[in-house]
Amino acid sequence: MWNAKSQSEAAPDWASYFDQQARLCHDPDLRRFYSAGLPDAQTPLRELSFMALDFETTGMNARRDGIVSIGMVPFTLERIRPSAGHYWLVKPAGVLNVSSIEIHRITHSEVANAPDLDAILGEVLDALSGHVLVVHFRNIERPFLDTAVMGRRGEHCLFPLIDTMTIEAISIRQGMMARLRRFLGFPQESIRLANSRQRYGLPDYASHHAKVDAMATAELFQAQVARHYSPDTPIGELWL
């Protein structure tokens, strides 16, 4: 069983942070989000409700780029519920660039009448509340949402999450085949979402649609828990 955190990157005391923000936040949407609280860090995975979260963005820099779409799919270790998920198109602050359109295939005309994130933020936060968030590559969803909310509401939007990419990186680094590949001089295996799914025999999906990628992330996490962890693993060992 592998811990998703190294000794050098222990997770913050998220429970204390949420309690503090619930008391100090001025924005009602954020105060409601933080007031929902978090499960105890010792809660086993089998008892938790998760929300897979995915953003499509205009680039990789949260300070310069913007969110174009948001996808969410709720799930547990036993069941994924895509019909209960959510999908929003969001109008980014700047114009869409050609390279981002080629990746996510969301065009200028599609976002022309889409709302700014500020108009749907309450809905987004309410959907996230009460769930443990799961993403693939933690350097997108948390920093992009925090930066966007800070720019619109003047307060932070931070939260713990599980990163399936981090879990996969650990499994590749510590697995027997990974050590053999390094010994033989072969390149490191990819930990992109599609490549990670292939290692668990999961089906191929069309990528770069936020809700589809959220569902793909949920399936990957279920497979990772089945192979590397246990339903009784405490959530505090995995969230970052």
What is the per-residue pLDDT across 162-205, written as a single tens digit (0 to 9) for each? 999 999 999 887 766 566 666 566 677 899 999 999 999 999 99
Q: What is the CATH number of the domain that holds 167?
A: 3.30.420.10
Helix or strand (DSSP H, E) at 201: none
Is residue 191 in some structural domain?
Answer: yes
Is residue 55 in some structural domain?
Answer: yes
Is residue 229 in some structural domain?
Answer: yes
Is residue 38 in some structural domain?
Answer: no
Is residue 112 in some structural domain?
Answer: yes
The per-residue pLDDT for 185 is: 64
Is residue 164 in some structural domain?
Answer: yes
The per-residue pLDDT for 7 is: 46
Range of the domain at 158: 44-237
Beta carbons of 142 and 125 less than 8 angstroms apart: no
Is residue 200 in some structural domain?
Answer: yes
pTM of the model: 0.91
The per-residue pLDDT for 206 is: 84
Q: How far is CA 48 from CA 23, 91, 163, 220, in A?
A: 25, 33, 16, 16
Number of structural domains in the chain: 1
Low-confidence ranges of the chain (pLDDT < 50): 7-8
The per-residue pLDDT for 92 is: 85
25: left (phi over 0), alpha (psi -120 to 50) or beta: beta
Spatial distance between the Cα atoms of 28 and 77, rounded to a whole number of angstroms: 32
Spatial distance between the Cα atoms of 79 and 46, rounded to a whole number of angstroms: 11
Residues 6+ apart with CB under 8 A from 27: 153, 154, 155
The per-residue pLDDT for 183 is: 58
pLDDT digits (tens, 9 = 90+) for 150-164: 999 999 999 999 999
List the structure tokens of 96: 């869409």
